[in-house]
Structure 1
């Protein structure tokens, strides 16, 4: 029932290639317009549906609101199930890809069609929209177990336990899934033959080596060669693709790493951790491009096209900042209660000099104890940039009081406190903050010079 890319009609293959390019360029609405007709005509093209949903999610996350509920869609009552699915794609998912009731309808229809992969996709989509809803995640894990995909079930159960360490059913489910996975890997639960068992064993050994710490460059290159060989045998193996991306990144071949991270996302668009890793690598690649351009400009300031290069550099920086903000905003839209995502958005706004927009995000981020100090520090910097120095001083002072140990973070906060106190003409508070650093770390920045000069 699953349709592969190679089985698409020529006209659809052309649209598909354009759609992938649009996704790579983050032109989400255009990607939707290209991939939607394919999915409607080829409902079994699951890879296309995954890309479509990702593009829809990014598109609505870019500013438009979407719900997680809503009433039942009337199209679900159509006699022809494929027509009902097409109507859901056309009339619901474009505007509200994470709509729970619509995705539940898609799940029910897929199960009636005996299409468990599509049913799982519907549940995974709900999970993307509500990543903290453990009840929905239990349904997904049960589905995977019922259709003999225990490794996927185990991943879901682990995610549940991470959210709720007291969930005994999830703990038991994870153990059951691990046991079932072991049976399947050894070929005991089906007609698996020796070659299949050996292949799985070899891949497991490679994955174990991948997680090994302290590998030499030669070992890393050898490991990469093994995964390239596996990839050439099966280009849809998500483990091989992710492993290659990781190894290319370790070898500092950032462009190759980014290419495979992007491809991995097309195979598993619902992997939130993979999304964040991909964006981190993309950011690193863009940073290198900026550094290269800066070096060119600094090394040859009299070049005839120097102004053109400076303008190009400024535009790249602007696009980068805008892209990061869009990504962070989309993640917040998908999970508005995640304070860590609020911090990321606040930091993106700060880096783009959008200090007013950053403030409310950082104020919300403060409620997460794991990032509270970072949020307070950045919040103080926002106030200082807006010349609201009294509020900045208060933020730095509060953050400093919450840190009992003089670590690098506290030194940074105290230094910021000193600088803003100096701006306000409060010499006593300025020196008090610097002396606190001086007593702990003589060599920190220019603290010694500032403190000692006050005695001369």
Structure 2
């Protein structure tokens, strides 16, 4: 089958369903100044790719509000409070907060928004704007290296209050999040407190905040999937489990949960929950079979090709339908045609004009998966062919280039995370490790030196630091670093084997052959198959055999 190319030439504006007040109409009818919403900067992003599709989905179960924030759109179920439901006094504070953010007076805006949320904790749009302001402020703030966070004690205090006063727990947690908006413990407890208070949408928001920092946090994704299940949002539940599957394709439980969510979403869309069977709704057998296939989480072979072809035909008829473009991306992803999947997801992102940050993350994740696949293929080839193979040198270079490219992507992500949490030494280690993998040894040194202060990363940091010195021909520093690391581990575990091996290589480079061989023998005694240790040790004995 020929690869289908996305057609992004036709882009239409999203329109709310009939009977739904559009953002324009809301602004015209509001008693606030006409541009009160427009002054909100680009701090809030819509979580869905299609506003109209989301409105249609929400309207099936509850009223909803569409809030325009500059060029962005927020769609909220009416279980949370909207701007129109604020009292006159709180509405005045809200407008002042919006104006303060426009002037980049984040401290004042934060204090105003906190006051509003104390009185109206269900005002989700206000909480979202508060968090964006806190994130922006924290990024620009200067942080001392020796600052000691007391967040854990405050979070524990809030957690104790959840049972009897969850609203108060939420208020306490907001004080932590003011300074550390991505604090993992605080956001997880905020989700717990919000659900206990009967505000599950705020629980979703807390988990989504954590995923902004690390979209591959499987524990948070599981929490979010369960919460969407409790909310009855099968579409979002399915999307979350698909995301977990892309990270860990071998998790059978997640595959099952995703399949169940997909089936529930299809039944809800098709009205099957009301009909005795889908045959009551679908008389055309071909259409019934097609929809059955679409409800499955994983398609293969001809069924998958059929779905791609059918969806592509529908896309040609509705080129601006984001859901169809997204589905083409998902189907090609299932087919493991990552190049095509990336093109379709990028097309969907273009159609939404960047409003759906999840699509951008999907494109990034797929590029990483493509690199991982290429790296695995190169490593498998090199494991089966030695240097005498004519393609060995070429594959080695391709493997090195792919690893460097992967490291560059990871470096950008790690730098952003370090900027948000400069005192987190584990993040410093991860950045140093990625810099090392990219061959940027001088840059890696400073990060790894700081990471040594983290007891959990200390030995790995010292090992990589020694390797950096070795790569830069600072062999005396490399020797000292690796010797120190080796003496700090008693058992010959995986980390010590790597350290001792690298130390042996450095000894060899400085002409200390006996010390090098002693290192290799330490490993040989516990792990015969480790790297080329067996060859190194056994060849040393062969050299001593007299030849007649």
TM-score (norm 2): 0.45
User: Of the candidates 231, 246, 252, which is equivalent to residue 181 of structure 1?
Assistant: 231
CA positional deviation for 1:427: 1.9
CA positional deviation for 1:271: 11
Are 2:104 and 1:91 equivalent residues in the alignment?
yes
* Unmatched 5+ stretches in structure 2: 1-10, 16-37, 46-65, 75-89, 136-176, 212-222, 236-266, 279-291, 380-389, 392-399, 544-548
Q: Distance in 1 between matches of 2:295 and 2:467?
A: 43
How well do the aligned residues superpose, as a CA RMSD in angstroms?
A: 6.3
User: Of the candidates 345, 351, 357, which is equivalent to residue 443 of structure 2?
Assistant: 357
CA positional deviation for 1:6: 1.8
Is the deviation greater in 248-257 or in 107-116? 107-116
Aligned to 1:45: 68
The structure with the largest helix share of the pair is 1
CA 1:267–1:137 in structure 2 vs 1: closer, same or farther (change >3 Å)?
Answer: farther
Q: Is the 8 A contact 1:150 1:178 kept in 2?
A: no
Are 2:368 and 1:280 equivalent residues in the alignment?
yes
Is the deviation greater in 374-383 or in 415-424? 374-383
Deviations 1:254-303 (A, max 9, x none): 45247638949956649999798467348659989x99xxxxxx99xxxx
- Please list, as runs of the form range in 1=range in 2, the aligned pairs for 1:7-18 lying within 5 A after superposition: none
Aligned to 2:182: 131
Name the SS for the 2:423 alignment partner: coil
Q: Is the 8 A contact 2:463 2:481 kept in 1?
A: yes
Is the deviation greater in 137-146 or in 314-323? 314-323
Are 2:497 and 1:415 equivalent residues in the alignment?
no
Q: Is the 8 A contact 2:182 2:209 kept in 1?
A: no
User: Of the candidates 141, 144, 149, which is equivalent to residue 201 of structure 2?
Assistant: 149
Aligned to 2:341: 256
Aligned to 2:167: none
Are 2:520 and 1:434 equivalent residues in the alignment?
yes
CA 1:6–1:251 in structure 2 vs 1: closer, same or farther (change >3 Å)?
Answer: same
CA positional deviation for 1:406: 4.8
Aligned to 2:491: 404
Q: Distance in 2 between matches of 1:337 and 1:329?
A: 13
Aligned to 2:125: 118
Name the SS for the 1:454 alignment partner: helix
Name the SS for the 1:346 alignment partner: helix
CA positional deviation for 1:81: 4.7
CA positional deviation for 1:253: 1.4
Deviations 1:321-345 (A, max 9, x none): 7665443212210122333322232
Q: Is the 8 A contact 1:151 1:178 kept in 2?
A: no
Q: With CA pairs under 8 Å and 6+ residues apart, which has the higher RCO, 1 or 2?
A: 2
Q: Is the 8 A contact 1:265 1:271 kept in 2?
A: no
Deviations 1:34-78 (A, max 9, x none): x999859x9943594599xxxxxxxxxxxxxxxxxxxxxxxxx99
Aligned to 1:191: none
Deviations 1:376-431 (A, max 9, x none): 32222112122222332343344445272454x54433321111011222222100
Q: Distance in 1 between matches of 2:202 and 2:116?
A: 23
CA positional deviation for 1:451: 2.2
Q: Distance in 2 between matches of 1:47 and 1:284?
A: 38
Q: Is the 8 A contact 1:325 1:349 kept in 2?
A: yes
Aligned to 1:377: 463
CA positional deviation for 1:85: 1.6
Name the SS for the 1:45 alignment partner: strand
Q: Which of structures 1 and 2 has the bigger CA Rg? A: 2
* Unmatched 5+ stretches in structure 1: 9-34, 52-76, 93-98, 160-172, 186-193, 292-297, 300-313
Q: Distance in 2 between matches of 1:220 and 1:386?
A: 51
Name the SS for the 2:504 alignment partner: helix
- Please list, as runs of the form range in 1=range in 2, the aligned pairs for 1:48-63 lying within 5 A after superposition: 48-49=71-72
Is the deviation greater in 436-445 or in 269-278? 269-278
> Aligned residues, how many?
345
Q: Distance in 1 between matches of 2:331 and 2:453?
A: 33
Aligned to 1:334: 420
Q: Is the 8 A contact 1:392 1:420 kept in 2?
A: yes
TM-score (norm 1): 0.52
CA positional deviation for 1:102: 3.5
Q: Distance in 2 between matches of 1:453 and 1:135?
A: 57
Name the SS for the 1:91 alignment partner: coil
CA 1:453–1:363 in structure 2 vs 1: closer, same or farther (change >3 Å)?
Answer: same
Q: Is the 8 A contact 2:463 2:482 kept in 1?
A: yes
Q: Distance in 2 between matches of 1:78 and 1:404?
A: 64
